[in-house]
Amino acid sequence: MSLRPSHRAPARRPAAPTVGWRPPEPAAPPREPTFLPPPRRRRWLDKTGWYEPRIDPMHTTTRQAEALNLALSSPPTSYRGLIVGTDLLSGQLVTHDPFIAYEDKKISSVNAAVIGDVGKGKSSLLKTWACTRQLLLQDRRVVVLDKKLQSGLGEYTALARFLGAPSIRFTTDGTGSRLNLLDPVIALGGDQVDDAGADLSALGRPTGQMMLLRAVLAEALGRPVTEREGKALRMALMSATRGARERDRVPVIGDVVHHLLHPADEDAEALNRTSGELQEWGLDPAFALERFLEEDLAGLVDGETSPEVHLDHPSGFTHFDISGLPVDGPALRVVMVLINTWQFNMLARRSERAQQTVNVVEEGWHVAEGSVGEIFKRNTKLSRGLGLATVAGFHHVSDLPIDSPARSLLQEAETVFIYGQGSQDDAEACVELYNLPAGTEETIMALEQGTCLLKVGSRDPILLRHERSPSEIALTDTDSALTGVRG
C-alpha cells in the first residue's frame, strides 16, 4: 500500500442550466469600411472615352417622342373627320364629320344643330365646317337655305361667288327664281297618302305633291283642311295633272285652282254628287290659294321651275338665297319647306349614286310653326336613307315651343355646337335638352366669341375653339355693314 497522494482529476462542476435567462453577449464593434483607392486613369484611355463612353444622340420627331410624355392626354376625337378646331383643355386638334361618325357607330343621326347668341361665331362655323370643308370630300354636296341679309343679298353670296356657284334668289317682286309647287320631281302622291295625311316618313318616301298642297292650303286658310276640302283638292290635283299631260306641259298650281272652281262632271259623278256640290267643297280652298298666288307667293311658286334651280353645279355648292322674302307671313316658311321637299325628292331619285349631301339651314326657327313645319320635320326623318345631313342654326332653345318642329330638329341632332348664351334661362335650356353635366350653364354663359361646346352622341362635351384659315376669315366676315370696311 502506497502512501503517496492520488493523482485523480478534480471533480467537475455541474453545467449551467440551458433554460432561463442568459445575459446577452456584448456585440462586436462595427468594422470601419475600407475603400480601395480609385484606379489610375490613363490619359490616352480617357481621350478615347474608355472610362466615360459618349454616345451620339439619336434624331427623332415630335410624334415619335410624344410617347415619352407619360402625362399626355388622349385625343378628344378620332382622327377621322374634318378639322373643326382646338380642344382648349388639351390643346389637341378636334376633328368631326357626321357621316364618318355614323360609319364608326358613334352616332345614330347625322343631323347637327348650332346654337348661340348673335355674334358668337355660329355663321363662321356653318360657312367653314359645314360648307367649304365638306366640299373637300369626294362626292360631297352642300345645299344652303340662306335667310340672313347682308348688303342687300344673302350672307352666303360671297361664298357662292368664291366657289364659282350661282345664287338662286327668291323674291316677291317677280324678278327672282321660281320653284313649281307641282314640279314633276316631287312625286304626285296620289297613291302615297290619303286625305287624312298619312306619315310618308314611315313609308320611307319623301313628301308628295298632295301632302305639300294640303300644308300650303292650311297656311292659306289659317286652319286645318276639312275632309271635303281635302277631297276636292285631291280631285282637282288629279284633273290638273291629267290636263297638263294631255297638253304636253308641266302642271302648275293655277291649274289646281281652275279645277277647284270648275270641277269636271265625271269627277262629281264618281262621288254621286253634282258638279255644283263638288264646286262648293272647293270654293274656300280655291279662293285661299288664289289669294296666296296673287299676294304672299306671287312670283315664287306660280310657274314652272326656273332652269337655274338644280343641284348639279360642278362646285358641289347650291345656294338658295331667300333673304329677300319677308319674315312676317307664310311666304318664307312655304318656300323653305318647298325647297326642302323638292330637294328630298331629287335626292330620292338619285339615291343609287350614294352621294352625301349637307343641307345647311341658317335660320332654323323659321320652320317652327304651321303645317309646313310638320312637312320639314317629316322630311328630316328620311335623312338616313337619302344620305343627307341637316345642319340648322338657332339662337335660343327656350324660344321654341316644346311641340314645335324646330325643337324636334334640335332633339334629333346628335352633333351639337353650343355657343355663348347671355341668358341664364337659355343656358339652362341647353343643359336640360342635351343632358349636360351640372354646372355647365356657367361655362356656356362665359364662352367667348369663336368658342363653343361640342357634344357628339353620348360623349362628354368638348370645350372647343373654332380655327379658321386667313382665307376663311375673309369669307366669313359679316361686320362690313357695321365697320364700313369691305373685305
DSSP structure string for 352-398: GG--EEEEEES-GGGGSSHHHHHHHHHHHTTHHHHTEEEEEEES-GG
pLDDT of 351 reads 65
**178: amino acid identity, one letter:** R
**451: amino acid identity, one letter:** T
Instruction: Give me 347's grid cell.
Output: 335626292
Please name each of the domains of the chain with its CATH number. 74-172+303-480 (3.40.50.300), 182-295 (no CATH)
pLDDT of 340 reads 82
pLDDT of 219 reads 83
Beta-carbon contacts of 200 under 8 Å, excluding residues fewer than 6 positions away, are 192, 193, 206, 207, 208, 211, 378
Beta-carbon contacts of 256 under 8 Å, excluding residues fewer than 6 positions away, are 182, 213, 233, 236, 237, 240, 289
pLDDT of 15 reads 56
pLDDT of 204 reads 46
Higher pLDDT, 198 or 51: 51
Q: Where are the beta strands (DSSP E) in 384-470?
A: 388-394, 415-418, 451-456, 462-466
pLDDT in tens, 432-468: 999 998 889 999 999 999 999 999 998 889 999 999 9
Using alpha carbons only, how large is the chain's radius of gyration in Å? 39
Beta-carbon contacts of 12 under 8 Å, excluding residues fewer than 6 positions away, are none
Handedness of CA 363, 213, 216, 411 (dihedral sign): negative
Instruction: Give me 307's grid cell.
Output: 332652269
Q: How far is CA 244 from the centre of its chain?
A: 40
pLDDT of 44 reads 83
Query: What pTM was estimated for this model as a whole?
Result: 0.76
pLDDT of 14 reads 57
How far, CA to CA in Å, does 21 sit from each of 24, 102, 401?
A: 9, 83, 94
From the list 158, 96, 154, the residue with the least C-alpha distance to 129 is: 96
> Distance between CA atoms of 453 and 460, rounded to whole angstroms?
10
Average pLDDT, stretch 105-132? 92
Instruction: Give me 350's grid cell.
Output: 338619285
Cβ-contact 203, 192 below 8 angstroms: yes
Q: Quick one: angle between helices 331-349 and 370-380, nearest 10?
A: 20
Q: Where are the beta strands (DSSP E) in 258-387?
A: 317-321, 356-361
pLDDT of 440 reads 92
Percent of all residues in the chain with a pLDDT value above 70, rounded to a whole number: 85
Residue 232 has pLDDT above 80, yes or no: yes
How much helix, strand and coil, in percent to the nearest 5, is found in the chain?
40, 15, 50
Label residue 194 by pLDDT band (50, 70, 90): very low
> Distance between CA atoms of 247 and 293, rounded to whole angstroms?
23
How far, CA to CA in Å, does 222 sit from each of 181, 234, 329?
A: 19, 19, 11
pLDDT of 7 reads 54
**Could you give the 3-state DSSP secondary structure of residue 76?**
coil
